[in-house]
Amino acid sequence: MQPADATLTAVTAPDFAYAAGSWLESHRGMGLGRFMLGHLEGRATALGRRALWLQVNKRNTGAIGFYRTAGFEVVREAVFEIGGGFVMDDYVMAKRV
């Protein structure tokens, strides 16, 4: 996999870990997302975190379904201005670990 094929951001705090990632269409369905989430859950547990949080676009039904299958639940909506009249219209999802 080339560096441009995936992005991943992870932030940790005392009670939770936050991760964001995306895959190119050509790399979907290969188990990479499940692998990544499994790794993040293991790290969060090892660090004593109690939950994983993520943010996903409300229209990304495929990702939302994937995260729900992995045990995440929508906990709130998040709308952020990103400049130029554009906004991010997302769900914040969480899973206890």
Domain harbouring 37, CATH code: 3.40.630.30
Burial class (CB in 10 A: 0-12, 13-18, 19+), 12: middle
Q: Given this model, what pLDDT does residue 8 score? A: 43
Q: Which token pair is 32?
A: 């990479």
pTM over cut 0.85: no
Q: How far is CA 18 from the centre of its chain?
A: 7
Q: Give the per-residue pLDDT at 25.
A: 67
Identify the residue with better confidence: 42 or 13.
42
Domain count, the chain: 1
Q: What is the tens place of the pLDDT at every residue in 34-62?
A: 888 898 889 888 988 888 888 889 999 98
Query: What domain range is 43 assigned to?
Result: 3-96
Q: What is the DSSP letter of 30?
A: S
What residue type is 39 in one-letter code? H
Token pair of 35 as six digits: 């692998």
